[in-house]
Amino acid sequence: MPSAAASSPPHDPGLVAVIAYDGLCTFEFGIAVEVFGLPRPEFDFPWYRFKVVSAEGRRSRAIGGIVVEAGAPLARLKDASTIIVPGWRDRNERPPERLLRAIAQAAARGARCLSICSGVFVLAAAGLLDGRRATTHWRHIPDLKRLYPNIRIEEDTLYVDEGNVVTSAGSAAGIDACLHLVRRDFGSKVANSVARRLVMPPHRDGGQAQYVVAPIQIRPGRTIGDVMDWARARLAQPIAISAMAKRAGMSERSLLRSFKDSTGAGPAAWLQQERMARARELLENATLSLADVAAQCGYRSLETFRVAFRRIVGTSPAAYRRRFEARPTAASVARSSHQRVAG
């Protein structure tokens, strides 16, 4: 039987089903609605179809006294390309067997599943995480380890992508994970457009730490953000850590400490991620040669670029480009927005 995802045409991302049940976290539920369920008149290509699926009856009592009325029964999961599981109400309560069977069957057909925060306990109970990497909110990690010792838990990441299963940390990390799926489906330009509508940063890598110290002032008038902006404008050039420290007006050791406090990563790792984010955007436009992409991202060797890209993104630059050859381009997004404004 073909998978739900495989049966959709290349430009159709398919049906996104978000699970509703008693004790539903309204913020996490709202994240799924905001990213996948809102109309997107700024785009001239098919967006996600969206359904709220009931796990325990048509009406669910959400946190805060809100009642959510689902528009679809649990059987609708058989048509879903993507299933979103908001936080589960009680880590020590096994979810309903009907729900677990429906999710497991949908995953077996090819649907991908994304959990937000404690929603990981639902995917774990459905048997989707045995022997695989996963994450959740740092407060829930001891219980996840205790209940599901076969999961390879990544304790300090925003989200983990295992292909057809994506797990995210605390509620806000669910936004990053959802935008990550949009990026997988449509590319960076479209994901950035959705992020702008959310007034969110366009990209936070899944490997970023769940908790970092609040950004600190380096000295009056100069912050880590200033140094980041300076480096982003020079990604085609070699950027030494000593040059970043000089720009910040501090020692390299102090810069390292400040970057760790502010971003959860050192300056070298942060630079690598920024170069890869730029490479994705250039590859999705399909106009530059791979050598030119490598050069614009600061790599003097195409082979070095290929190795770094595969290590961080998980595929080759050429394979990544092929994924987006038939998908909406940046020009399509810009043209669609211009036409709608002009009209």
Q: Residues 20-30: what's their mean pLDDT?
A: 92
Percent over 70 (pLDDT), the chain: 85
Predicted local distance difference test score (pLDDT) of residue 204 = 60
The mean-pLDDT minimum among 53-62, 200-209, 215-224 falls in 215-224
Between 343 and 145, the more confident residue is 145
Say whether pLDDT at 284 is over 50: yes
Q: Residues 158-181: what's their mean pLDDT?
A: 92
Q: Residues 183-204: what's their mean pLDDT?
A: 83
Say whether pLDDT at 297 is over 50: yes
Predicted local distance difference test score (pLDDT) of residue 203 = 58
Residue 341: pLDDT band by 50, 70, 90 thresholds? very low
User: What CATH number is given for 15-198 in this structure?
Assistant: 3.40.50.880
Percent over 90 (pLDDT), the chain: 53
Say whether pLDDT at 136 is over 80: yes
CA angle 274, 296, 184 (to 5 degrees): 50
Highest mean pLDDT among 105-119, 270-284, 313-327: 105-119
Say whether pLDDT at 293 is over 80: yes
Tokens in use for 234? 């020079």
Predicted local distance difference test score (pLDDT) of residue 205 = 57
- CA dist 55 → 83, 99, 170, 198 (Å): 12, 6, 22, 28
Residue 3: pLDDT band by 50, 70, 90 thresholds? very low
pTM: 0.71
Mean pLDDT of the chain: 84
The mean-pLDDT minimum among 25-34, 54-63, 147-156 falls in 54-63
What residue spans define the domains of the chain?
15-198, 217-263
**Contact between residue 205 and residue 273 where contact means Cβ atoms under 8 Å apart:** yes
The mean-pLDDT minimum among 29-43, 115-129, 186-200, 251-265 falls in 251-265
Of 118, 112, 111, 150, the C-alpha closest to 135 is 118
What residues form DSSP beta bridges with 67?
A: 61
